[in-house]
Amino acid sequence: MRVLGALAALLAALVPAANAACLPPEMILVGIQTANRIQVEQLGSDATRIETPLAHVPGRTLGYEVQGLFRVNGPVAAALQRTFGRRDSYACGDAPPATFETPGPLAIGLLFASGRAAIAAVLHLPEGMVELQLEGGVHTLTPLSQAGQRRWQEVLLLFARETHTSPEEFYEQMLPPVHIDPATPAEPDSTGPPRDGEPAPR
């Protein structure tokens, strides 16, 4: 079952009311801070997302198809933990929400895992919403704050130094592959039917 409509409605309702949103539970923040295996994932589009109670299964994160992934460590891993594992990274109370510009709508997957727990995360851009779920447990959707956005930009700069790609190129690479709905009619043949005054092909 597709959840595009429900997610879009939820994002639309939450973005204007960012200050009313609450923090992710402490167990999620601690799980992110103490993770020893962290990966970043390119995800498929909302059109191919499925509804599932499981945070992370082979090939999917929070219902999104995982198109590619790479493990991170060192400064990049630490920067990701600062971005998503700190209370002030989320726009709760009086904290102003983040504002993003991206080449298109995209969802960036993250996995923070340790021997005891795994937290799956999806950063929805350009909305700046962070979807988090403790494996087998609580699920939240919270807006990133401007402080969280600055930390995310630090992550992108560290990526740039390691991969020699700019933040703009990173976003381009993380865009979901084009999804073609099998129910969509095929493009008409370029030859098409004969126009008025043209003889039909034999």
Query: Could you report the per-residue pLDDT of 40-49, keeping only the tens digit for each?
Result: 999 999 999 9
- Residue 179 has what pLDDT? 54
DSSP codes, 129-155: EEEEEETTS-EEEEEBBHHHHHHHHHH
Dihedral sign, CA of 76, 81, 84, 88?
negative
pLDDT in tens, 62-111: 999 999 999 999 999 999 999 999 999 999 878 889 999 888 899 999 99
- Residue 57 has what pLDDT? 85
Residues 6+ apart with CB under 8 A from 136: 55
In the predicted model, is pLDDT for residue 114 greater than 60?
A: yes
In the predicted model, is pLDDT for residue 180 greater than 80?
A: no
**How many other β-carbons are positioned within 10 Å of the β-carbon of residue 185?**
6
- Residue 65 has what pLDDT? 95
Q: For every residue of 21-37, which 3-state class applies, written as one string? A: CCCCCHHHHHHHHCCCE
In the predicted model, is pLDDT for residue 198 greater than 60?
A: no
SS3 87: helix
pLDDT in tens, 124-173: 999 999 999 998 888 999 999 999 999 999 999 999 998 888 999 999 99
